[in-house]
Structures are given as C-alpha cells and as structure tokens.
Structure 1
C-alpha cells in the first residue's frame, strides 16, 4: 500500500451509489442464507427486491444485542445470524461477557482479509509506512483489538511486535530497545505505561514512537486526554473506533478532525435514541450500522448504542467519507441526566484532564444522596479524583465543571494510586456501594 485507496476519495454521490449497489447484493445474500433475517422479513412482508434507495432501509427494525443473544439460545453455539456453512468459519471472537454469557462473532477468510485491509488503510492515513515498527498494546486474550491491529499493520508492511496489554516494564524496555515507532492500545493502558516510564526515568517522549492510535474508550477523541497522551509519548495521537461486530468502523486521518467512516464497508445511520428517526447531520444520535460485504454474521441496522455526530463537510486530507465529529461521545445508556443536562463521562474526562493536568485517575460515583427522590436522576455529580494534596483543587474543578457542563459537582480527592487501574477499558462510572467496598482513602 503506497497510495490512497481509490474509494476513499470518490465523489460522495458515487460513494452513495456504490453503497446502494453493495447493499442490494448483501441483503439478497442475507435473505437467501435464511435464519433470523429471513424469518423477520417474511413476517414483515418485506423482500430485498423492494430496496430502491438507501432510505428504504428504514422499513426494517433495528437489531440489538438482545436479539443476537436470543438467536444464540435458539440455535447454539453460533446462532441464527451465521450466514455461511460452519466449515467456512475461519475465526471466532467473543464479547466480554460483562453483561451476560460471552457472545461469538464469526469471520470467514475473506472477512479477515477485509479487516486487515481496513486497518492498514487506517494506519496509512495516519502516516505509518512500511519500515515502521508497530508494537500492539491491545489485549490478545479474548479481546478483538489485538489481532486486528496485528493483521492490519502486517498488511501495511510494518514490522509488528504483538506485545499485548501486560508486562508494563517489558513493554517500555521493548519500545526503546527495538526502536518502536508506532503503537496502538487503549488510552488507559497508554497513560499507565507513560506514568510508569516516567517513574523509571525513561519518559516515552524520548522514545522513537511517533504514531499512536487509540481505541476501546472515548479518550482519543477527548481533547484533554489526547493532549496528555501526545505530551507523554511525544507523538501524534489518533482516535480509532470499532466494535466486536464491526471491525473497524472509523479512524482519524492526519488532520485529526474526526474518524472517517469506512463507507465502503458499512452503511451508517444516526437515529434519535427515543424516536429512532434520523437526525440531521451535525446533531447527536445513536449510530446504526449495516454491513455491506461481511460474509459470516452479517448484521442489518445494528444498534451500536454509541452516540455520535455525523460530519459530511470536506476533509483537508482529500478523503470523502463522512466523519464522526468529536469521535464517539459516549454510550446512550451511560449518559447521565443532571437537572435536565445530558452529561457523558467523556465530557467530564475532558474537564478533569485539563484541570488536574497530570496522569491521576478519576471516576464518577453515582451517589443516592445526590439524587432527586422523586425521579432518581442525579442533581449533582460526585467525582473521586486522585491528588497528593487538597488545596484549592476541589473548588477549582467543581467550578470548571459548572462553567463548562452546567452541572454542580462534589469533588472528593483520594490518595494517588487508590483508584483501580486497568490495562483494558477504563470504567468511569461506579455506584456508591462499589466505591465504599473498594475503600477509597480521602486526602486529608
């Protein structure tokens, strides 16, 4: 790969025509495969031949994780969404299982090749080239991200070190010893590595790393967190977005102006979470995706639960695919309503990072004492933030949160190192009972 992929710069109208062509073929194949969608569409009296425009897709209901799990129960172990013979399955990845039994998602050999090519396009758009040394810091045990990064950067022609998300000191030594120039991982793990490297007297800003792609959390699209990663690593930080069912979905180019959707791989809709009607470009809504060429486990109108804002204005890089302005704003079910104000943990993170100005951990605690007794909605946020000394920090942070997010906040400072660290996905919102069980120690 040494040039832009042709489809990345195609005129928007041509892209739209191509998506319709791919979608007609895909929906016909899905229908002929039988299973969940054939039964659902027959009950609706709908056939893929009725698809005359991309807007006609709205006639179909959204698919969510509950429906997917039901299909697994009905036809174990792979469920009714599997659209190829089992002997054609080349890879099986699983959900985390944090909200139930881990759910499998399958790939064919062609699906894996497509996955690698998309990941390689992402890396190329961010400046990675053959000859770079990529150290993959995403997890490999059950998590989908590690193998995706390894596949993609290998496809691009980089030398790949599949490090995983453990062995902190060995990772740091490897970065310096083997001349790593690009890394990928969750913001949490990358900041954890940076903090430890600083303690060891080997700041990562003095390494050869110049390209950082993050994913798995909203941190890469949080301005203050991005700035913190770039300062600690001495490298440019790019946001990448994917999920188990769709890998990858969008990635930032060198302009760092929101992730470009892979519009030759997915058809994207942005819907109002309450009405499920389309929202205008520039307005927040839940991202709904349809595969355009996935063979195994193809999904139609998949309800991601992720809140995004679609931006179709031209990008300075020359790519014409729509972008997710500001990345993923948060999960629709993670949004907090504080006296009528919608607040995402990622927005809180941005204020905390910029105000505290270091690598300290923080989290939002759902405290019943700060909830409206009638509705149960919080009337204020309670934050736990690590700091060595109290001083004016609690008042300053509370004032910043009120000024920028229009919500009242109660800030509790806790001793550094008290809050849990993670090498996977940071958990930013906990209930007060969980916080008490962990025994956080307040700063006097």
Structure 2
C-alpha cells in the first residue's frame, strides 16, 4: 500500500519469521526464481547447462553452491555479447521501466534494469529500512544522495514517500542551500554518504549554523563504510545532534541491509536476497563471526536477476536474534571494505575502515584523510607493502599530533605507519563516495 500506514511495530510481518520459516520461504522463492532465470536469461541458462545443472536439482539451500559464482566481469562480458542490456536480462525490454548505471569511473557505465514490480519491491524495502529506524509519516526527509545516474537517491525517495514522510530531493550539491533548507523547513531526517554529511557539518559550523542545533533527529548513511566505523558514527552524531544509522546496498542489489534502532549491524533483507559469506580466496563458506566476501542471489528480481553474485564486499554475518526482535541475520560492523581494497602489509590484513577508526578516535584525527600507497611504503623489488602512509589535514603547529597518530596506527594495527600532515583544505572533498586509498607512481603494491 502506497502512502500512509497506521503506526505499527513492523513494516513487514516477515521481519520476525523464525529462522526455519525464513529458510523455507527462501527455498520456495529460489526454486521459483531459478526456474524463471533458466527460461528467460541467456547468462544463467548457459551457466547452469555448463555444469549440467537444472533448477529441479535444488533440493536445499546448500545445493545452490553447485552453481558457479558470477562476478562483475561476467556481467560485463554479457553486455558485450548482447548489447545494450546484456545476457543477464530476463524481462522483455517492453517491461523495463527504469535503468540505473554504475559510476563508470573504471570504464563504460554499466546498466542495471528494473521492471514495475522490481520498483515496487525496491521502494517497499527502503520503506522498511526507514521505518525500522524510526521514520514516520510526520517526518520531513532531505535526501542528500546523488540523483544524476546514481541508484541510491531515487530508491530512498520512493521508500520515504511510501511511509508518508515529506521528501525533499536535495541531491549532493548546493551545500549552503542544503543547510538553509534543513533549518528553514524543519527537516527531521537526512540521508547521504558519511563524507558528504561530515562536509556539510563542517561548512555549517564555519557559517555559524551548527547542525547540532537543527531539528534533524535521524541520519541514514550509505555508499561508504564510514557509517559502521564507530568513531566516524560518533563524529556524525556529535556534529548533527542526531542518531546515525548505517545502510548497505549496491547497484545490482538495492537495498541489501540496514540498521534498526539497536544500531547493532545491518539486517539483511533475507526475503529479498539469499546471502552467502565466502572465503576471499578459497570461495568456501565461512562460519558466522568470520570475515568473508558477501555473495548474493536475488529471490524475486525480474529485470536483471543475478545468481551467486560476488559483491567483493567483506562482511561478518551474525544470524543470532537482535534486541529489536527481528530475525533476519545482521552484518556486524557493516561492510568492512572491498576485498580488492584490503591491504596486506607484511602478512597483516589492513582495512581502510580500520585506519579510519584509529584516526577518528584521536581528537586531532578528524580532518580529511587518505591512505597513500607509493614508493615510501612499497618494497621496490617485490612490490609488496612494507607499511601504510596516511595524509591527513592538520592545522599548523601540530607535528606532535602527527606523531601521536602514527604511534596509534602502529600500536593498533601492528604495522609500520607514517602520518603526514597536510594543510587544511588541501585534500579533495567528496559529495558522493569518498576515495580513501590512492596509489601513486613508484609503488606497484602487490597482495
């Protein structure tokens, strides 16, 4: 139902299904979905035939692992084979109502499609997310996610509208206008990337209009790991005077997981996706509580459904119950980072989010920062990392702070580290997704 709903504890009854009932629901949905993609998608039918597999062979959830994993390279190959929409497409072109694209930062933009029912499902999942974070129809929501081409802005807009909230589609530009809108129109909830929300707070503070004095009481962040970094979350909550909730999705799966009022890890939408957590190298399942790569399968997507899609995102799953009463598994700590962004320093795994946590815990470590991989921290013979270098904006006369941050990184991460102070305002500001790892000439960096 679109629009106003009566006050209730749960947006959807399935949020509290017992685990065995949820598993049975997934199995029923998977059987239906795999039959659909076998009949309608060139990519999936071919991959099933390649391994001599048929949808009737799905006897339980574990037997899904008999199918090969699909990654972004497979999707791109399909786009080249059957342009412009690719071999993953399962819906007739006439049924497609929406196309969103990747950023195209590493090549041509990649399209992903939605049918009408896909869009309805998408909006309802975003509504469930927001409702679980305390949003109601009396709220005024300012969406600070980007709209041009990007996938997140319209999804959030549709979801908050479905609850009945008043939505202002602001986007991620016009910083001073955003600040004025928040105060002028009584905005009570905002959503955006952690880096843009911190940038907005910085600008507002400089303008003498600190956002901790504004009426916003809920902040939803996504697009970057920062919302799940405790020190970054604390910084956002302090700057905005509001509670901060982390959300996770990707272009191919929207949305995937989001925090509830407990702020104890994002609940997977397990009626929408089947989730596996696999070892980054062996691709074998890892137990709950162990870091692995999230692999997702759509349970009811029509336009571009994906089966066993390798997201590349590193997570830790917890399938125990949450204090909120929801039964869907959680991603504790959110997304730790990308498998291809994980740094290996003399055998020690270092995530950019871990570096951010150490920096943000120090009073001087709240400025803009980036991790630099160059010849200073790379062995010139082997190409392996010998340490990490961090550039961070520090005011003049804070050499002691740089030394303290260096010591904190070394002590916490157990790797060689060096912190280089740069002038305030010299590092790039991000209105979309922050780029935390920068590779410069002279460092070839192998893992």
With the shorter chain as reference, the TM-score category is over 0.9
Cα shift readout 1:267-319 (whole Å, capped 9, x = no counterpart): 00000011110001100000000000001100000000000000012110000
TM-score by length of 1: 0.96
1:31-430 alignment to 2 at 5 Å? 31-357=38-364, 359-389=366-396, 390-430=398-438
Q: Which moved more, 1:359-368 or 1:191-200?
A: 359-368
CA distance in 2, matches of 1:85, 1:24: 21
1:23 to 30, 43, 48: 30
CA distance in 2, matches of 1:43, 1:127: 47
CA distance in 1, matches of 2:113, 2:439: 35
TM-score by length of 2: 0.96
**What is the alpha-carbon root mean square deviation over aligned residues?**
1.2
Unaligned runs of 5+ in 1: 436-444
**Deviation, structure 1 residue 434:** 10
Cα shift readout 1:370-415 (whole Å, capped 9, x = no counterpart): 2123431211111101001323111111111112111111111000
Retained in 2: the 8 A contact 1:191–1:359?
A: no
**Deviation, structure 1 residue 359:** 4.3
Report the 3-state secondary structure (helix = DSSP H, G, I; strand = E; otherwise coil) of the residue aligned with 1:399: helix
Report the 3-state secondary structure (helix = DSSP H, G, I; strand = E; otherwise coil) of the residue aligned with 2:399: coil
**Deviation, structure 1 residue 30:** 0.5
CA distance in 2, matches of 1:60, 1:407: 39
Report the 3-state secondary structure (helix = DSSP H, G, I; strand = E; otherwise coil) of the residue aligned with 2:427: coil
Cα shift readout 1:181-214 (whole Å, capped 9, x = no counterpart): 0000000100000000000100000000000000
Report the 3-state secondary structure (helix = DSSP H, G, I; strand = E; otherwise coil) of the residue aligned with 2:43: helix
Retained in 1: the 8 A contact 2:194–2:227?
A: yes
Report the 3-state secondary structure (helix = DSSP H, G, I; strand = E; otherwise coil) of the residue aligned with 2:419: strand
Report the 3-state secondary structure (helix = DSSP H, G, I; strand = E; otherwise coil) of the residue aligned with 2:313: strand
Are the structure 2 counterparts of residues 356 and 429 from structure 1 closer, same or farther at C-alpha, using a change threshold of 3 Å? farther
**Deviation, structure 1 residue 41:** 1.0
Which residue is equivalent to 1:440?
none
Unaligned runs of 5+ in 2: none
**Deviation, structure 1 residue 356:** 4.0
Retained in 1: the 8 A contact 2:388–2:418?
A: yes
Cα shift readout 1:206-232 (whole Å, capped 9, x = no counterpart): 000000000000000001100000000
Cα shift readout 1:3-33 (whole Å, capped 9, x = no counterpart): 3111000101100110000000000011011
Report the 3-state secondary structure (helix = DSSP H, G, I; strand = E; otherwise coil) of the residue aligned with 1:244: coil
Retained in 2: the 8 A contact 1:366–1:382?
A: yes
Cα shift readout 1:317-351 (whole Å, capped 9, x = no counterpart): 00000000100000000000111110010110111
Retained in 1: the 8 A contact 2:375–2:442?
A: no
CA distance in 2, matches of 1:176, 1:409: 42
Which residue is equivalent to 1:441?
none
Report the 3-state secondary structure (helix = DSSP H, G, I; strand = E; otherwise coil) of the residue aligned with 1:243: coil
Cα shift readout 1:53-82 (whole Å, capped 9, x = no counterpart): 000010011111101011110111001111
